Structure 1
Amino acid sequence: EKTDRIFYVRADTPYKTLLDMRDAVEPPRCAATGLGTAAYYFPRLLQEAFGLKLTMVPGYQGAADANLAIERGEVQCWCGSVQAYFGSEPGRTWAKTGFVRVLTQGGQKRHANLPSVPTVWEFMDKQKVSDLHRRIGKIFVLPDEMGRPFFGPPGIPGDRLKALREGFAKMMKNPDVIADAKSKGLEPSLMTGEEVEALGREIGTVPPEFIERLKPLLEK
């Protein structure tokens, strides 16, 4: 299950686009769960890469609590996923009523349900952000791109690995499996084993000095 990260804000705030937050007189308060979660580090990436003025408010138990806080006006923004937003409440209702405004999304391309919302990569291209921030972004969205991968032990014979991958891909295309997933509000999307390996190679080995650069984005 691949996840597409989104960042949204209450529609009654003055922020029409993501970059409007650079000039915020009073930084919007963004809900988060723990410091090491996507709800925290994705907004921190936006803050670091584009100079946004945000106040992170960690400590919420999850998306339900964060969305309730948005409704109450305790906070104004949250980083969730396209799948949860369109697949459950209150996102389904908000998408219809326009209670919140989605400012950006973390997928490599725009999600079909959000064709007018720019990706974070589009913003990076337009703002000509550094290669450092691009690589940080790729590392941060790696768990979302992979979704929930299935792993096996090292040394699996090539013929067995091929059979497992083909069988899994066939299952993911099975109409009954797809229908069952959709009945639960899920959007199954296949990322093959070969694609997962390629993504890992693209990220490459992360040097120690780069890890040190990441640490501030995971702290208060």
Structure 2
Amino acid sequence: MVRSISCNVSRYIGAIFAAAILCNPAQAQQSAETFYNDKTITYIVSSEPGGGYDTYARLIARHMEKYLPVRRIVVRNVTGAGNIIGANTIYVARADGLTIGTFNTGLIYGQLLGLEGIRFDLTKMSWIGKMAEEGRALVLATNSGFDSVQDLVESPETIRLASASLGTANHTEILILRAALGLNVRLIPGISGGEFELSMMRGEVAGALNATSSRDDFVARGQGKYVLSVTGEEARALGVPQARELVKDPRYIPLLELTEAVAELGRLTAGPPDIPPERLALLRDAYMKVSTDPEFLEQAALLGIPIQPLGGDAVEKRVRMALDQPEETVLELRRVIQSTD
């Protein structure tokens, strides 16, 4: 009996102590810093090495080490199924704050559609932040023989456009544009990273829909030409037609609004659900410190990648808003995605 009372008192005292730490921000931060001391964080990239997500992740990881008491941050590429495997890996990881990662924002579409293989729920993930807005534009190779959106509508032959894979943003958004603008195009999947430009230069595809930051150099070299702006301030500044301006059927406007919401969430970083609050706060703080680090910004500029950061709380709210779509919008998205090539 005495032993039982003693155990209960110990648990009670322990609960009071834990609550005191949570109520004291300084103690909570110290507790988190103690946990991370000399530990290794794994930063999962759900796409192939060498692409945009990989470039951002490696740069962020290198500089986050400066703002956390960790031994190191290791970047690990976990690829397959249009980023689904990597995102699943992040989602089911132990919620101790030692596994974080990034994945294609097209998985927002994937969750709306309930794509096969998805084990994650983006509304439950521990959001750390986002580092960019992805202004998206359609680029055509100069050797393709096509110069405008009108060419893609009026071509008697079906034109090939590059796609990473089912579930990625560029795949889904090309299908939305095809339906909304009446483009005579079909997708060639399985092209990622630097392969987009190589496939255009070899004449295997006529063009691609990508973040403008990924194709600016290609266009600057005279190997490509922007012909359509889809989302984002950078794309709108290109001086080419806007997708919204060309849409004649109002039922596609909600889908374009959805693409705009997804584009605002470029280069996300998240962890599994239920990371302890004090550890998540430390990760978020380090992430935002990276976004203003002069050396980080200098290296990002040299790489030609834009930096438009947003903290984890705000990212979580925007992800929830993007996923909160009316049933008719989801049904229209499903119809567009399931349309045959």
Q: TM-score, normalised by structure 2?
A: 0.50
Residue 195 and residue 105 in structure 1: after superposition, are their counterparts in 2 closer, same or farther (change >3 A)?
farther
Deviates most, 51-60 or 134-143: 134-143
Report the equivalent of 1:117.
240
Matched, 1:101 2:225: yes
1:212 equivalent to 2:331? Answer yes
Residues 138 and 199 (structure 1), Cα distance of their counterparts in 2 relative to 1, 3 Å cut: farther
Deviations 1:114-162 (A, max 9, x none): 53234xxx331354441x32221233344431123445867998xx999
TM-superposition CA deviations, 1:28-84 (whole Å, max 9, x none): 111212122123112111111111111222233x13233222112121111222122
- Partner residue of 1:89? none
SS at match of 2:336: helix
Instruction: Name which of 295, 305, 318 aligns with 1:186.
Output: 305
Letter of the 1:212 counterpart? L
Post-superposition offset of 1:186: 2.7
CA distance in 2, matches of 1:217, 1:206: 16
Distance 1:174 1:20, change over 3 A: same
Q: Percent sequence identity over matched residues?
A: 22
Partner of 1:8: 139
- What does residue 161 of structure 2 align with? 30
Compare relative contact order (CA 8 Å, sep 6+) and give the higher one, 1 or 2.
Answer: 1
Structure 2 CA distance for partners of 1:164 and 1:47, relative to 1, 3 Å: same
- 1:77 alignment partner AA: G
What SS does the aligned partner of 1:106 have? strand
Q: Are residues 191 and 106 of structure 1, via their aligned partners in 2, closer, same or farther at CA, if it must alter by over 3 Å?
A: farther
Structure 1 residues 164, 128: closer, same or farther in 2, change over 3 A?
farther
Question: What is aligned with 2:291?
Answer: 172
Equivalent position SS for 2:164? coil
Moved more, 50-59 or 162-171: 162-171
Q: Assess if the C-alpha contact under 8 Å between 2:144 and 2:203 holds in 1.
A: no
Secondary structure in 2 matching 1:101 = strand
2:136–2:229 contact (8 Å) kept in structure 1 = yes
TM-score, normalised relative to structure 1: 0.73
Is there any run of 5+ residues in structure 1 with no aligned partner, and where? 87-91
Change in CA separation of 1:123 and 1:186 when aligned onto 2, cut-off 3 Å: closer
Equivalent position SS for 2:201: helix
2:194 paired with 1:74: no
Query: What SS is found at the alignment partner of 2:332?
Result: helix
Q: Matches of 2:304 and 2:247 in 1, distance apart?
A: 36
The structure whose Rg is larger is 2
162-171 or 70-79, larger mean C-alpha shift = 162-171
Distance, in Å, in 1 between the alignment partners of 2:159 and 2:238 is 25
Are the structure 2 counterparts of residues 128 and 182 from structure 1 closer, same or farther at C-alpha, using a change threshold of 3 Å? Answer: same
Structure 1 CA distance, aligned partners of 2:270 and 2:203? 42
SS in 2 for 1:80: strand
Q: Are residues 206 and 12 of structure 1, via their aligned partners in 2, closer, same or farther at CA, if it must alter by over 3 Å? A: same
Equivalent residue number for residue 256 of structure 2: 137
Q: Report what 1:83 is aligned to.
A: 213
User: Cα distance, 1:195 vs. partner?
Assistant: 4.9
Deviation of the 1:175 alpha carbon: 1.7
| Unaligned stretches of 5+ residues in structure 2 | 1-130
Aligned CA-pair RMSD:
3.3
Show CA shifts across 1:152-203 (max 9, x none). Answer: 867998xx99998777545422322211333444322123456535644654
Looking at structure 2, the residues matched to 197 and 129 of structure 1 have their Cα atoms a distance apart, in angstroms, of 32
- The alpha-carbon distance between structure 1 residues 163 and 72, as it changes in their structure 2 partners (threshold 3 A), is closer
Q: Does structure 2 retain, via aligned residues, the 8 Å contact 1:38–1:79? A: no
**Alignment match of 2:149 (pick from 18, 22, 39):** 18
Rounded to whole Å, the distance in 1 between the matches of 2:233 and 2:321 is 17
